[in-house]
Each structure stands twice: as structure tokens, then as C-alpha cells.
Amino acid sequence: MSEQGFLSIRGLTKRYAAFTAVEDLDLDVPRGELVAFLGPSGCGKTTSLRMIAGLVPATSGRIVVDGKDLTEVPTHRRDMGLVFQSYALFPHMSIARNVAFGLEMRKVPKDEIARRVKEAIALVHLTGKEEHRPTQLSGGQQQRVALARALVVRPSILLLDEPLSNLDAKLRDEMRNEIREIQQRLGITAIFVTHDQGEALTMCDKVVVMNQGRLEQLGTPVDLYERPRTAFVASFVGRTNRLASVAKDGSVEIAGQRIAAPAGLSGPVEVMIRPHRIAFAPAGEGVPGTIAKAVFAGDILQYDVEVAGQILSVELATRGGETVLSPGTAVGLSWRPQDVFVYGAAA
């Protein structure tokens, strides 16, 4: 493995006439890591994956895998496995034939194809369904077939483009765990494109947060959640309150409280605090506010609290027997200084 990473991307850019879909992307992925590309629709994450796969030509930049420059290499010679959102299975073929297709195209000997297909189908827990057609399987089972088809060719890199978005919530959770377990067991390097922060945080070693075609932040799930570098990352990765304020003389005021501002920051700012990091203070203490709305959501109590003309969301874990406070109730709020993020306000 090179010092730069098993997968190394430098200056990767894709332009369509006057529109730039991806701009100057630099990224290193160590061998065996699962890395998520996370961001809203149109941020450039899928375009980036398709350039890595060779499905979309890059306008500029380089894609290097294990020291080999693949920038101009066609898709079928890049040794990558692809799993798409739509499964893309052949409906007239059995599950075994679907999984074998890539090996047949590579002219692998028949006895080896049979052995590797059997192993791949067992890996995704579909043994006994080899002769079924895709239409006879559930959505989750079809996605397992798509995963087996990608893995059976033993790719150097596995690329997954929103593979769970067509599944219901329970199946998504199951497939998250299965994909992660298989990826770790095989030690395969993988890129996982998603707009779902939960998938990115729970499945991946590192997360690339993209916004408007650019890499906003790269880090571990803990890094992104606890130390977001920009207001976009803080608001996209996890839930957060956004309050307007002004930085002056090294601090920011929130409802009469002074909070240290980042060095050199002055003028209009956004202050962000995650709802579950806010607590109710003892009577007569904390930042004064008034309950505007209360919702019992089973595992949490959700409150909207008016504070100095702005609304703060507060989430409290339930333990049974709680009294739900009524709108109009006066409360005090408290939070730790390290749970407050301050960013320059967007122009």
C-alpha cells in the first residue's frame, strides 16, 4: 500500500458546461476501510463515485488504486464491484446465474465459477435460493444478490451507491449490519454513498461530508459529530438548534449568557446546540425560557422552548412516569460550554 492510501484521489473535478458537479476533490482511503460519501441531493457524492468507477469521465484529476493510475482506464478493467440503488438484477436469470454473470464475462473456468458462486451466496445468507428468480425474493434479498454479484469477482474496491434507500426501516437496519460485517470479514476497501447520516455514522470508519460539489469535512463519525468544522456539517450531521447572534470582543451572547467565540470571529454568527445536550436547570436557575410546545415521542420528550424571541428544541430521555410540561410553563435551560458551536453567519 502506498503512503497516500490504497485509493488516492487528487484534484478530482467534473464539469458540465457552466455547472461544476465536483470540484478539486482530494481523498485518501486506506486498505480495508469503509468510507461514506454523505451529503444532500446534488452535492456531488454519486458523481464522485461514478468517476471512481469509470462510469463518468473526470474533467481533471487523478484516481490511483494501489499505486496504479486508473484515471483513463475503462470501467471493466478497474477491478471494482458495483452495487446500485436499483439492484439491476436480470429478471429472467436465476439467482445463481445473476451472481455468476461477472465471472462468465471474465471467462473464469466453470468449476471455479460454481465454487465461487456457492461461497458468495452463502456469504449473503441465501443458500437454498440459488434457482429462484429475483421477482421471487424480497427487496432485502434482492439487495443481497446484488451484493453477492459484486463480491464474487473479488474486487479491489467495492462501490455502493445508496444501496439501502429502497428498503423499509427494519430492512435497512439489517442490511447495514450485514454489509458492515461482510466488509470487515473480507477486509475489502469500500465506498458507500448515502444521504442518510444514520447510515454513515453507524456503518463507516470515516465519512466524507460533501456540499455543493466540494469536500466540506473528512473524519471519523465521532469527529464529525463532536467537532464539526463548519455550520453545514454541524447541521447536516445530527440534529441541532440554530440561533442568530453577534460575536464581539471574543464572545457571543445567548439570552444574557456570554460564550467564548472562536479566535478572530466577529460580527453576525450562528450559534448551534444539539437538542439532547440541553437540560432543564433547577428552579430559578439557567437561561430563562417558556415552553411553546411539548410532544411525548416514547423514548424522548420533545420540547420547543422560547428563549429571548428564538425557539430552542430540547430532547429529554424518558424513564417512565414523567410529567409533560404544558405550553406556557416557565423553565430554565442549561448546557455545557463545549456543546456550543459558533460559526460565522453565511453572507
72-112: pLDDT as tens digits: 999 989 999 999 888 789 999 999 999 999 999 999 999 99
Nearest CA among 304, 295, 237 for reference residue 275 = 304
**Domain end (from 194, 215, 231):** 231
- How does pLDDT run across 247-294, given as a tens digit for each residue? 988 888 887 778 888 888 889 999 999 999 999 998 788 899 999 999
Alpha-helical regions (H) of 16-168? 45-53, 95-105, 110-123, 139-151
Residue 133 within a domain:
yes
- How does pLDDT run across 293-305, given as a tens digit for each residue? 999 998 999 999 9
Average pLDDT over residues 5-14: 95
Q: Supply 174's cell numbers.
A: 439489517
Which residues, 6+ apart, have CB-to-CB distance to 320 below 8 Å?
A: none
Q: Supply 247's cell numbers.
A: 460575536
CA distances from 277 to 48, 78, 337 (A): 35, 46, 10
The model's pTM: 0.89
Residue 280 in contact with residue 331, Cβ under 8 Å? yes
Cell 476533490: give the residue.
25
For a pLDDT cut of 70, what percent of the chain falls above it? 99
Asked whether residue 217 falls in the same domain as residue 282, the answer is no
Q: Given a cut of 90, is residue 321 above it in pLDDT?
A: no
Asked whether residue 212 falls in the same domain as residue 79, the answer is yes
**Which domain covers residue 333, as residue numbers?**
239-344
CATH number at residue 259: 2.40.50.140
Asked whether residue 126 falls in the same domain as residue 218, the answer is yes
> How, if at all, do strands 157-161 and 80-83 pair?
parallel
**Domain end (from 195, 213, 231):** 231
- Dump the DSSP string for 197-244: HHHHHHH-SEEEEEETTEEEEEE-HHHHHHS-SSHHHHHHSS--EEEE
Asked whether residue 193 falls in the same domain as residue 62, the answer is yes
- Cα(164)–Cα(172) distance, integer angstroms: 6
Q: Given a cut of 80, is residue 161 above it in pLDDT?
A: yes
Residue 83 in contact with residue 165, Cβ under 8 Å? no
Average pLDDT over residues 137-156: 92
> pLDDT band for position 160 (50/70/90)?
very high
- Cα(266)–Cα(83) distance, integer angstroms: 47
Residue 1 within a domain:
no
- How does pLDDT run across 197-236, given as a tens digit for each residue? 989 999 999 999 999 999 999 999 999 999 999 999 999 9
Element (H, E) at 161: strand 157-161
Confidence at residue 240, expressed as pLDDT on a 0 to 100 scale: 95
State the chain's mean pLDDT as an integer: 92
Confidence at residue 2, expressed as pLDDT on a 0 to 100 scale: 40
> pLDDT band for position 4 (50/70/90)?
low
Nearest CA among 235, 200, 195, 232 for reference residue 219 = 200
Asked whether residue 22 falls in the same domain as residue 73, the answer is yes
Confidence at residue 289, expressed as pLDDT on a 0 to 100 scale: 92
Confidence at residue 186, expressed as pLDDT on a 0 to 100 scale: 92
| 3-state secondary structure (DSSP) of residue 258 | strand
Cα-Cα-Cα-Cα dihedral sign, residues 333, 334, 337, 339: negative
Specify the amino acid at residue 94. S
Asked whether residue 81 falls in the same domain as residue 172, the answer is yes
The total domain count for the chain is 2
Asked whether residue 216 falls in the same domain as residue 267, the answer is no
Confidence at residue 207, expressed as pLDDT on a 0 to 100 scale: 97
For a pLDDT cut of 90, what percent of the chain falls above it? 75
Asked whether residue 286 falls in the same domain as residue 208, the answer is no
Q: Given a cut of 90, is residue 174 above it in pLDDT?
A: no
> How, if at all, do strands 34-38 and 206-211 pair?
parallel
Neighbours of 185 (CB within 10 A): 9
**Lowest-pLDDT choice from 1-15, 48-62, 136-150:** 1-15
Confidence at residue 291, expressed as pLDDT on a 0 to 100 scale: 96
